[in-house]
């Protein structure tokens, strides 16, 4: 079964960003002018995200053992992380003596309105999950918070008896509401903050921001629905 209630033995917590981390001043980086005044600070610069993603790809290949992979990308926030991760996985495959087949499918899980989780997960799109039977499945997600959404997705997938299911998440939030779920591969463990950028959105805004940033109250109010 993907993930566990215990700390992953090989990949652990990823890069841990502590609660008192002040972040980076926005003036040190370039970002879209239309978001000026809407952000507090840069939490994770784009270059660090790219480097960490490359390392995760190496860990995944080593762990899965160069077997064919069915990648299930959780849209919309996971698409950029998934695209970069898949590109790194393909590069590793190209430079090895074994070809690794990688197929990608997409699914949407709707659980946020404004900056609050609505609690109940909605699954939108995606092919018939029965096609995952007997496959080695890698779920690629942007953020794991409470873990309830991912557990619900895993429950749906495991009914179809895939050969293996692993979860890679760019971010894991430290939240008192967590049920203890840990992905198999973690990019960064972050404080319980609402973050945007690198395809993570606030009501569909900020997906065009390359860095992962913390949105301020002005930004939340400006783009509230």
Six-digit token string for 195: 């973050």
| Domain-located, residue 22 | no
| Domain-located, residue 128 | yes
| Domain-located, residue 10 | no
Number of separate domains in the chain: 1
| Domain-located, residue 121 | yes
| CATH number for 163 | 3.40.50.2020
| Domain-located, residue 82 | yes
The model carries a pTM of 0.86
| Domain-located, residue 11 | no
Q: What is the distance between the alpha carbons of residues 177 and 67, in angstroms, rounded to a whole number?
A: 36
Q: What is the distance between the alpha carbons of residues 55 and 95, in angstroms, rounded to a whole number?
A: 15
pLDDT digits (tens, 9 = 90+) for 55-86: 999 999 988 877 889 999 998 888 999 999 99
What is the per-residue pLDDT for 132? Answer: 87
Six-digit token string for 12: 């652990």
**pLDDT value at 130 more than 90:** no
Q: What is the gyration radius of the CA atoms in the chain, in angstroms? A: 17
Q: What is the distance between the alpha carbons of residues 44 and 66, in angstroms, rounded to a whole number?
A: 30
What is the per-residue pLDDT for 10? Answer: 44
Q: What is the distance between the alpha carbons of residues 222 and 91, in angstroms, rounded to a whole number?
A: 41
148 neighbors 179 (Cβ within 8 angstroms)? yes
| Domain-located, residue 81 | yes
Which residue range is the domain that position 79 belongs to?
A: 50-191
What is the per-residue pLDDT for 186? Answer: 96
**pLDDT above 90 coverage of the chain, percent:** 62
| Domain-located, residue 222 | no
What is the chain's mean pLDDT, rounded?
87
Cα–Cα distances in Å, from 47 out to 43, 95, 133, 154, 198?
12, 23, 37, 31, 11
Instruction: Work out the angle between the directed axes of helices 79-94 and 46-64 (0-180°, nearest 10).
Output: 50
Any idea what DSSP says for residue 36? T
Six-digit token string for 220: 């939340």
Q: Mapped to the 3 state alphabet, what secondary structure does 180-217 carry?
A: CCECCEEEEEECCCCEEECCECECCECCCCCCEEEECH
Tokens 């652990």, residue?
A: 12
Overall average pLDDT of the 114-139 stretch: 73
């Amino acid at each position: 079964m993907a993930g566990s209630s215990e700390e992953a033995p090989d990949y652990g917590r990823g890069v841990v960003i502590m609660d008192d981390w002040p972040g980076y001043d926005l003036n040190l980086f370039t970002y879209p002018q239309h978001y000026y005044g809407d952000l507090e600070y840069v939490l994770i610069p784009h270059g660090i995200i790219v480097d960490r993603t490359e390392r995760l790809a190496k860990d995944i290949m080593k762990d899965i053992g160069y077997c064919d992979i069915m990648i299930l990308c959780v849209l919309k926030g996971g698409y950029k992380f998934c695209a970069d991760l898949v590109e790194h996985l393909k590069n590793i495959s190209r430079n090895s003596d074994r070809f690794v087949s990688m197929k990608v499918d997409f699914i949407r899980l709707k659980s946020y309105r404004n900056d609050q989780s609505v609690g109940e997960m909605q699954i939108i799109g995606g092919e018939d999950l029965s096609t995952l039977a007997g496959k080695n499945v890698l779920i690629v997600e942007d953020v794991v918070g409470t873990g309830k959404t991912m557990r619900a997705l895993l429950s749906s997938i495991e009914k179809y008896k895939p050969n293996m299911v692993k979860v890679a998440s760019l971010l894991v939030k430290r939240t008192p509401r967590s049920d203890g779920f840990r992905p198999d591969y973690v990019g960064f463990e972050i404080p319980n903050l609402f973050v945007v950028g690198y395809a993570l959105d606030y009501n569909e805004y900020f997906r065009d921001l390359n860095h992962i940033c913390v949105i301020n109250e002005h930004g939340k109010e400006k783009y509230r629905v």
